[in-house]
Amino acid sequence: MTQMIHLDMSKMADRHLVIAYAAILIAQFGYAGWVAYNIKRNRPTP
């Protein structure tokens, strides 16, 4: 049985962990979304 990490958001360390994970996921998927949007916009016209 696995146990989830127990976060205590009153601690700076735990807040930083959450911010870092969120920043990484937002930046990575945001960039992928930006590239996908531009690929669609640059689709050659028939």
Partner 1 sequence: MPRPQTLRTLLRLWLALTLIALAIGLRLAITAPVDAAQGNIGSMIYYHVPMQVGGLTFPFVNLLGSLAYLYYRSRDLERAVAFDALAVAAAEVTVLFLSVGILSGMLWAKPVWGIWWTWDERLTTCLLLWLLYVSYLLVRRFSATGQRYTISAVLSVFAAIDVPIVYMSTRWYRTQHPSPVFFGDPNAGLDPSMKPAFFSNFIAWLLWGFFLIAIRYTLERRRQRTHHAAVQHAIANPEAQ
Chain residues that interact with partner 1, rule: CB under 8 A: 2-8, 11-14, 16-17, 19-21, 23-24, 27-28, 31-32, 35-36, 38-39, 42-44
What's the token pair of residue 37?
């949007």
CB of 21 to partner 1, least distance (A): 6
Residue 43 vs 46, nearer CB to partner 1: 43
Place of tokens 């992928």: 32
Q: How far is the CB of 45 from partner 1 (least distance, A)?
A: 10
C-alpha 42/C-alpha 23 separation (Å) is 28
SS (H, E, C) 3-18: CCCCCCCCCHHHHHHH
